[in-house]
Structure 1
Amino acid sequence: MELRHLRYFVAVADRLSFTAAAESLGVSQPPLSQQIRDLEREIGTPLFRRTSRRVALTEAGVVFLGHARAILAQVRQAAEATRSVGEGQTGVIHVGLTGSVLTGPLGGVIRAFEARFPEVEVRLHQAPPEEQRAALHAGRIDLCLMRGPPEDPELAAVPAWSEPVGVALPAAHPLAARDSLVLRDLAGERYLSLRRTDSHFANLLWAACLAEGFVPLLAHEVVEAQALLSLVAAGLGLALVPEQVGRLAHPGVAYRPLAGPVPAADVSALHRSPASSRVANFLAVLRAETGGL
């Protein structure tokens, strides 16, 4: 028994006419009649009473009609559910990120994505960048958002949004009296950094200092950018931070933009290639909300 037997049977049962059923199905009547006879032979009982004037369901045919409709409905539902998953309309998307990424436009991106794809659940996984990349390779997350990601031939990187870097420093520090700073102003100052073993972005900032002719006097390394602000507020040093992080309200911390050669805190979205439908949909919303880079 095949699905076409059920479709043919239901078409005849709905119209009680082999001619009308054949027209609705786009087939000729003889093959349709043969298919119904094959179905009756397989089941072992007549499903229709046929006379020269009319076609009617037998008692067995009435029972079988209910089952046939249910089976076809389940097949349609299965096809729709599968198609919905394949098109990225349902399911879960796992997004890796650091806390500092949430200070930018990501919240608005997630809100817009959930409005457009209400059947897709967004789950956020906060972790250091290298842990995110490992989770992405292992398939535990679908994409991750990070600043200055390292090149990885197995991953695709899509520009997400641009953000400059500035200096977070104690509000009472003499340099806070200036409207802007340059990287060379950090020479000789205690330097607070993201942990360079975890963060390619931290290494890019370190390299920018070296390019300006000085080695930062590293005082402390932390995992999250927000932790840098706490150390700055305690007077333990200065830190290079993304603008959105530096402008967070934090007692005792001043933020000053950088002039001259300025490293960027641009955010990229990393994913396995080719992108799944859910990831492609998320990236489309991301581009629409941020304009990309």
Structure 2
Amino acid sequence: MIRPGPVVELRHLRYFVAVADSLSFTGAAERLGVSQPPLSQQIRDLEAELGTPLLWRTSRSVALTPAGTAFLTRARSILAEVDEASAEARAIGAGRSGTLDIGLTGSILAGPLGRLIRLFGERYPGVLVRLHEMPPGEQPAALHTHRTDLGFLRCPPEDPSLRVVRAWPEAVGVALPAGHRLAERTAIALGDLSDEPFVSLRLRDSRFAASLRDACLSAGFVPRIVQQVVESASLVNLVAAGLGVALVPDSTGALKRPDIAYRPLAGPAPVADVCALYRAPAGAVTENFLGLLRTELGRAEPEGAAS
């Protein structure tokens, strides 16, 4: 039969260390805020559990036995580790420590997200923020498998198990090759692009690209898409090369290039609003980032399921 080891509680360790530091039961009791008789009983219980005396007691003094001296070193180490673990747990529980994995497409960083990440790092230096570039279609799966905690994308998917909040609004304009005949206009109606070749984000990966195609259909024409790519950087490079025009968010159009003309769309136009997507319930670190987003960008509307 295996004999169980001694049952030593943290309370025993704290009481013993207080007595060892004071070498006085009266002083230790005052330090701990307890009465002396229960303190003395706790030390006797500890010695009984260990099977050896830790203190020599006389009517006038208290001293450590050799076993007590050795036990004091270990007790202090254990209590220090417990205090450190407790502080770490409290920091993680409050969202002041841990990691935040964010899924996004590269084009999202052209907006205010980069500034938010910098501000978040200044406010929560104990949190490691890791960015994961991925197509929009991969973001829900990354959230479900806990590879990411938060995603930023346009046109979130229908997924009632995920929560979505609009992070910031953004308009859509048209990117034209420099010197294009429509570049002379200050704004361009969507219908004026009906005869143009289009370069587009890949439709199977991007609900946003599909929404732009649908906007063209609503304007009375089927866009003639000649090339499809994964990233907005590739998209504008194809425009610059003269392969076609592209419907892009304002943040992409704001990246000035001499070989591209960017013009806003006139009249009813599609939008490129960016949404934050996350699992419910969100962890404390995610909640802190969303709180910063609401404060900095004024996004206070209620959250709902992705739909």
Q: TM-score range by the shorter chain?
A: over 0.9
Q: Which runs of 5+ in 1 are unaligned?
A: none
Write the distance in 1 (CA, Å) between the matches of 2:110 and 2:47: 67
Question: Aligned with 2:148: secondary structure?
Answer: coil
Is structure 2 residue 175 aligned with structure 1 residue 176? no
1:41 aligns with 2:54: no
Aligned partner of 2:9 in structure 1 is: 2
Which of residues 97, 100, 108 is equivalent to 1:101? 108
CA deviation vs aligned residue, 1:248-280 (integer Å, no higher than 9, x gap): 122321000112112111111111111111111
Please point out which of 51, 61, 64 is paired with 2:58.
Answer: 51
1:113 pairs with one of 114, 120, 130: 120
The alignment status of 1:31 with 2:53, answered yes or no, reads no
AA matched with 1:29 = Q
**Is this contact kept in 2: 1:108–1:289, CA < 8 A?**
no
TM-score (norm 1): 0.95
Per-residue CA distance 1:62-109 (angstroms, 9 max, x = gap):
222121111101111111122222222222211111111011111111
Q: Is this contact kept in 2: 1:192–1:239, CA < 8 A? A: yes
Aligned mates of 1:78, 1:106 — CA distance in 2: 33
2:93 counterpart of 1:70: no
- 2:201 and 2:66 map into 1 onto residues whose CA distance is 77
Let me know the Cα RMSD of the aligned residues: 1.6
Q: What is the deviation of 1:177?
A: 0.7
Which consecutive unaligned segments of at least 5 residues does structure 2 have?
1-7, 301-307
CA distance in 1, matches of 2:297, 2:169: 9
* Equivalent residue runs for 1:239-250 within 5 Å: 239-250=246-257
Instruction: Supply the distance in 2 between the matched residues of 1:120 and 1:155 (Cα, whole angstroms).
Output: 23
Identity, % of aligned pairs?
61
Runs of at least 4 residues off by over 3 Å: none
- SS of the residue aligned with 2:266? coil
1:259 is matched with: 266
2: CA distance, partners of 1:38 / 1:289: 57
Q: CA deviation at 1:240?
A: 0.6
For the residue of structure 1 that corresponds to 2:130, the secondary structure is strand
Separation in structure 1 between the aligned mates of residue 42 and residue 149 of structure 2, nearest angstrom: 47
Q: Distance in 2 between matches of 1:268 and 1:164?
A: 14
Look up the equivalent residue of 2:231 and give its one-letter code.
E
Q: Aligned residue for 2:239?
A: 232
Q: Distance in 2 between matches of 1:290 and 1:223?
A: 28
Instruction: Give CA deviations for 1:189-245 in whole Å, capped at 9, x if unaligned.
Output: 112211111111111111212222222122211111121111111111111100110
Distance in 2 between residues matched to 1:289 and 1:236, nearest whole Å? 39
Matching residue of 2:286: 279
Number of the residue aligned with 1:190 = 197
Q: Which residue of 2 aligns with 1:155?
A: 162
Aligned partners of 2:117 and 2:298: how far apart in 1? Answer: 15
Q: 1:292 aligns with which of 291, 295, 299?
A: 299
